Amino acid sequence: MTTAVGVSMDGVRVPLSRDRVGTIVRAVLRSEGVKSAMLSVTFVTSQDMRTLTRTHLRRNATTDVIAFGLGRAGKTAPILGDVYIAPEVARASARDHGVTLREELARLIVHGTLHVLGYEHPDGAARTRSAMWRKQERLVARLAANRQ
C-alpha cells in the first residue's frame, strides 16, 4: 500500500503521537482495501473549527471533526483528503460519553477518514444507527484491542 499521511498539531495539545494518528488512518484504509491514498489530519482550535464549519458547511457552530474527500484523478491515482479535528470539542464529547480523550480522538480520526472515503451518515438520532457509524465503532474497538 502506498499511503502518505501528514499530521499537523501545531499550537494544539493532542495526547496522540503523529505516528499513532498515521497508524489509525492506515488501519482504516487497509480495512477498506485502499491501496493508495494521501491524507492530511490537522488538529485545530475550536475557533478555527468554527471558521471551517461556517465557511464550508454554512453553519455558525463548531464541531469535532470535518473532512473533505478530494477524490481521485483516475482509477489508479491515490485517494486524496483532509481531516480537521478540534481536540477541545472532542474533550467535551469524551466526557459526555464516558470515554478517554485518546479514544474519542481515535474515533474522530476513523470517522473523518471514512468520510474522505465517501461514507455518509444521517444527522440526528439516526446517525448512531447508520452503517457508517457501525463500521466506525468496529474499527475503533479493533484499534483499542490492538493497543492492549
Regions of the chain with pLDDT less than 70: 1, 148
**Residues 108-139 pLDDT 10s:** 999 999 999 999 887 878 887 888 999 999 99
Sign of CA dihedral 35, 130, 51, 108: negative
- Tell me what pLDDT residue 57 has: 82
Residue recorded with cell 464549519: 53
H helix intervals, the chain:
18-31, 46-57, 87-97, 101-116, 131-147
% of the chain residues with pLDDT over 90: 69
The single-letter DSSP state of residue 78 is: P
Is residue 134 classed as helix, strand or coil in its secondary structure? helix
The pLDDT assigned to 41 comes to 98
Q: Within 13 Å of residue 97, how many CA atoms lie on the same side as its CB?
A: 15
Residue 147 pLDDT? 72
How far apart, in whole angstroms, are the C-alpha atoms of residue 69 and residue 28?
A: 14
What confidence score (pLDDT) does residue 58 get? 84
